[in-house]
Structure 1
Amino acid sequence: MPPEGSSSARRTLGEKLRALRKRAEVSQAAAARVLGISPQTMGRLEEGLSARSASDLYMNTLCNLYHATDDERRLILALACETRVTAQRGGGWWQSHLDRVISDFDRYTMLEQQAIRVTTWAVILLPVLVRTPDYCRAVAWTDTPNAPTDQIEERVQRQLKRQARLDDPAFTTEIFVSEAALREEWGGPAVMADQREHLTELAHRPNVSIRIVPFTTRNHIGALLGSFSLLEFPKMPKSKMTQPPIVHIEEHVGDLYLERAHEIARYKSAITELRNSA
């Protein structure tokens, strides 16, 4: 039976539940016994394959068992609610940046850590995975000019920490960059000069591909699209099922996650055209 609803919601919930269980040093079989379900069903819940087990009763029971904090409990219940709602309407999800601030939870970062491949089309802003610290800082100050310095630095450090993903040889990223993203002077000429040199260095890594779509390219599909990333995932360890890909689109007020097969197909087609144009 195929998984129900939003795979983004289900797998995020499953990952958080697995992390809480391991922290509490509770076996998967023991957690299943407390819920009165089979170990196989518990495994499906943690692998993001089931929305049916994401009831508030089950979630509260697991939070009690795992000694979750109040904030962790609120997050688990919110993810469970999202899982149930998207199961009813067939997938996809919008996450407001305000929701992220309130919950202090970044869904995209968790998905990026799970992904085995990320393909990105960058129109104006370079992807976080390839930014220099000064570039991150310039974007952060532009986005929130009135924020305290320590908050800006915390945001920069979180972004730089994500770049450790590039050190995993099993992870690959393919990045298509509009010429506009290289000409936009975030932080000034010196910062951009360092950023362009950094891109050149990263492009020599065997698991990193960075290609440019110049202004002179005519009638390319990227001109009709905003920035996006296609995340692809490995097989799950127990079920051996391949997790479906997700397209992530970041907007000023929130993030859009697309998961329906026809949506993914459209973006994969666009990536093929970008390869021919870059």
Structure 2
Amino acid sequence: MSYLARRSVGRRLRVLREEAGVRQGIAASAAEVSQSVIVRMERGLPTRVGTIHIKALLDRYGVGDEEQRESILAVVQLVRQARKARPRWWDAFAASLSPEEIERIELETEARSMSLCGATLVPELLRTADYQRATARALYPQDTVADIARRAEITEHRWKSLRDNDTRLEVYLLESALRQPLGGSEVMADQLTYLAELGELPNISIRIVGPEAGSHIGLHLGNLVLVEFDALLSGGQPEPPIVFLPGLPQDLCLDQDGQADRYRDAVAGLSRIALPQDTSRTRIREIASDYQT
């Protein structure tokens, strides 16, 4: 919960600062920290800011409502608790993961639901090991066999975490992505058979957007992941969603206020045109059979 809670604290304090008309430099002076610390904190990045600094900022921003102050301080406490949480499965892979990748994994563990859109490829979390190796060889040509195996192992742990947390997955796949013969016919047949099996799980919905849909938003989206959350505190508002856009050299994370809105609307648009789940499973199995002939 560390990154999600830090992000929540930073967002709330930034809003309060802007409403109070206080510049970041003035806020830094009030808390007796550098301006760069305020910048990092408002972005949800790690800092050494403690409760005494947060209280000083709340005073400077004129926040006198005790309930509001206690709510923010309660989330600060969640950040402190998360720092002490050990061990975490990804600690064993720390040398292979960037800070951004670790933050993404943390967010996935806290997700209430995730919407995965695959316009050109099967989403990473739903790939078989062979399909993952085929994509990794093209995406990371400098990687050794051991590097690729480690990436696949990390993805397997991410999937297990989502399954154990009973995270709801809504998956939308363009049929054209399933007809791209990545890794060869045998790899594709196994991948599609695996997708059909996943679609029978109670917490996963896999739906196909076929060519009969005509012109639609999915043709312009590319691959994306929309992550949605519950409230951090009982009775509070859900945390704002985050969007990840796969790319090079790393995935783009859209986590600022309002950035996910258009993508949430796009996912809703796909939901309206995608085939029903049962029909989608039948279509997936039919394409798998094509690869087997």
TM over 0.5: yes
Q: Whose helix proportion is higher, 1 or 2? A: 2
TM value normalised by structure 1: 0.65
Q: What is the Cα deviation at residue 239 of structure 1?
A: 7.6
Q: Is this contact kept in 2: 1:248–1:258, CA < 8 A?
A: yes
Equivalent position of 2:75 in the other structure: 44
Deviations 1:167-197, CA, capped at 9 Å, x for gaps: 2364100010011210112211101100000
Distance 1:135 1:4, change over 3 A: farther
Is 1:3 matched up with 2:12?
yes
SS in 2 for 1:263: coil
Identity %: 29
Q: What CA deviation, in whole Å up to 9, does each residue of 1:54-89 have, x standing for no partner?
A: xxxxxxxxx9x99xxxxx9xx9xxxxxxxxxxxxxx
Report the secondary structure of 1:109's partner residue. Answer: helix
Structure 1, unaligned runs of 5 or more = 18-30, 49-62, 67-71, 76-99
Structure 2: unaligned runs, 5 residues or longer:
1-8, 15-39, 56-68, 86-90, 275-293
Contact kept? 1:115, 1:234, Cα under 8 Å: yes
Which amino acid letter does the alignment assign opposite residue 12 of structure 2?
P
Runs of 4+ in structure 1 deviating by more than 4 angstroms, as ranges, are 4-9, 35-42, 100-105
Matches within 5 A, 1:233-244: 233-237=229-233, 240-244=236-240
Map of 1:147 onto structure 2: 143
Offset at residue 162 of structure 1 (A): 0.9
Q: Note if 1:215 corresponds to 2:217.
A: no
2:255 aligned with 1:259, yes or no?
Answer: yes
1:184 paired residue number: 180
The answer as to 2:127 corresponding to 1:131 is: yes
Output the CA distance in 2 between the equivalents of 1:7 and 1:187: 44
Decide whether aligned partners of structure 1 residues 140 and 266 sit closer, same or farther in structure 2, where only a CA change above 3 A counts: same
Higher RCO (C-alpha 8 Å, min separation 6):
1
* Alpha carbons 2:111, 2:228 under 8 Å: kept: yes
Q: Tell me how far 1:8 sits from its aligned partner.
A: 9.9
TM-score (norm. length: structure 2): 0.62
Distance 1:115 1:122, change over 3 A: same
* Higher radius of gyration, 1 or 2: 2
Residue in 2 that maps onto 1:95: none
Alignment of 1:1-278 (within 5 A): 3-4=12-13, 9-10=43-44, 13=46, 43-45=74-76, 47=78, 103=99, 105-168=101-164, 170-237=166-233, 240-278=236-274
CA distance, structure 1, for counterparts of residue 13 and residue 245 of structure 2: 22
SS of the counterpart of 2:116?
A: strand
